[in-house]
């Protein structure tokens, strides 16, 4: 954990759904101090920016936009590996910055729920607050932060608003251990992940560097037919695993899925149910919606501006319609 006098470089990963303003926020933080390339062996764009705060250098890793940390291909596995510190070409992450669309929190917090399972210090940037306000939404950011147990900072990335508060929140987060969390999944699912994690790490001999992270054990169980369920099992296992070991894991996974289905928690449906239940509990009493959808302030302002510029034209138009209507009758 960094200290106040630490001058080492912090690595901060930026994650978020597509079209949440993540890359705009990345630019607002890093400015022109960024470089773009590709991750070795894949076609995924690699964007890293740099900034300094409180005398410390930060490396910002702009990960590809995604709705979920459930990899379906080697390319999509890149973001997961970066967050888990499993890539040699990117330093292990010290913290995660989750960018969410304030006007669509239900969908965006699904990804946040997955990020929180990684056990890294995390900060949520509540972006597009202006759009949320236009839609009549009132969000209690402080209450959401209390529920999530992490900082939640309202920002407007396209106008660089809230950046100072956001960087201060990240600076503080990396100096605190991530809070312990209970799983949003039912106990029977958690027990199955416990067993699978032990099976996957049977050959690790207590070596943390070669051990398979719990999050990957969870994904192997959940993602039937996904990348980890196929080639990924061989890739995530210990280096000394044989084909017989991997077949044993496949058999274990299939049996675990059958037990979960029998218990009423089939995969992959159990994940959507568990995570959206969690999202609902996080947002209860946090977002106030108008009883009747309010007209967008921008649209209303535009309509009033047009009315002023056209003088009496709208009124004359109403009279014209009324006259034509009477003639038509």
**pLDDT one-digit tens code per residue, 43-72:** 999 999 999 999 999 999 999 999 999 998
Q: Quick one: what percent of the chain has pLDDT higher than 70? A: 81
- Name the residue among 73, 173, 68, 86 with its Cα closest to residue 123: 173
- Provide mean pLDDT across the span 131-155: 96
Q: In whole angstroms, what is the distance from residue 127 CA to residue 130 CA?
A: 8
Q: Nearest 5°: CA angle at 275, between 269 and 280?
A: 125
pLDDT tens for 166-224 read 999 999 999 999 999 999 999 999 999 999 999 998 876 666 677 899 999 999 999 98
- Arithmetic mean of pLDDT, 144-161: 97
Q: Which of 41-55, 123-137, 234-248, 312-326 has the lowest average pLDDT?
A: 312-326
Q: Where in the chain is the domain with CATH 3.40.50.300?
A: 10-173
Q: Quick check: bond before 137 cis, omega within 30?
A: no
Cα 199-120-83 angle, rounded to 5 deg:
70
pLDDT of residue 19: 95
Indicate whether 259 pLDDT > 80: yes
Fold of 10-173: Rossmann fold (3.40.50)
| H or E element at residue 3 | none
How far apart are the C-alpha atoms of 309 and 205, rounded to whole Å? 77
- What pLDDT shows up at residue 313? 41
* CA separation for the pair 304, 308 (Å, rounded): 6
Mean pLDDT of the chain: 86
Assign 3-class secondary structure to 115-159. Answer: HHCCCCCEEEEEECHHHHHHCCCEECHHHHHHHHCCCEEECEHHH
- Measuring CA to CA, which residue among 25, 40, 86, 38 is closest to residue 237? 86
- Report whether 120 contacts 11 (CB < 8 A): no
**pTM score, whole prediction:** 0.84
- Outline where 7-73 has alpha helix (H): 22-30
pLDDT value of position 286: 97
212-217: list long-range contacts, CB under 8 Å, 24+ apart. 212/236, 212/237, 212/238, 213/84, 213/86, 213/118, 214/117, 215/69, 215/80, 215/84, 215/114, 215/117, 215/118, 216/80, 216/84, 217/193
How many whole angstroms from its chain centre is CA 144? 15
Length of the chain, in residues: 329
Report pLDDT for 320: 40
In the chain, how many H helices and how many E strands? 13, 9
CA neighbor of 98 nearest in space, from 125, 68, 70: 125
R_g (Cα) of the chain, nearest Å: 24
């Amino acid at each position: 954990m960094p200290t106040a006098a630490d001058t080492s470089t912090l690595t901060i990963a930026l994650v978020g759904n597509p079209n949440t303003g993540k890359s705009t926020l990345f630019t607002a933080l890093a400015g022109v101090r960024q470089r773009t390339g590709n991750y070795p062996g894949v076609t995924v764009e690699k964007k890293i920016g740099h900034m300094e705060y409180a005398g410390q250098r930060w490396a910002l890793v702009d990960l590809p936009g995604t709705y979920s940390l459930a990899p379906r291909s080697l390319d999509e596995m890149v973001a997961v590996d970066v967050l888990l510190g499993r890539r040699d070409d990117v330093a292990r992450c010290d913290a995660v910055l989750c960018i969410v669309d304030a006007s669509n929190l239900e969908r965006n917090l699904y990804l946040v729920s997955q990020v929180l399972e990684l056990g890294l210090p995390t900060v949520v940037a509540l972006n597009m607050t202006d759009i949320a306000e236009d839609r009549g939404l009132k969000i209690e950011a402080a209450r959401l932060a209390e529920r999530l147990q992490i900082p939640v900072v309202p920002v407007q990335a396209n106008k660089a608003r809230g950046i100072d508060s956001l960087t201060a929140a990240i600076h503080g987060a990396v100096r605190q251990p991530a809070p312990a969390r209970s799983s949003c999944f039912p106990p029977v699912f958690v027990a199955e992940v416990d067993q699978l994690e032990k099976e996957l790490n049977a050959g690790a001999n207590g070596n943390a560097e070669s051990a398979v992270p719990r999050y990957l054990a969870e994904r192997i169980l959940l993602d039937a037919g996904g990348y980890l369920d196929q080639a990924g099992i061989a890739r995530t296992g210990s280096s000394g695993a044989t084909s017989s070991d991997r077949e044993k894991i496949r058999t274990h996974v299939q049996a675990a899925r059958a037990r979960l289905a029998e218990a009423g928690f089939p995969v992959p449906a159990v994940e959507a149910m568990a995570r959206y239940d969690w999202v609902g509990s996080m947002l209860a009493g946090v977002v106030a919606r108008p009883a009747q959808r309010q007209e967008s302030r921008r649209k209303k302002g535009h309509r009033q501006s047009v009315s002023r510029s056209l003088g009496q034209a709208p009124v004359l138009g109403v009279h014209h319609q009324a006259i034509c209507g009477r003639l038509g009758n």
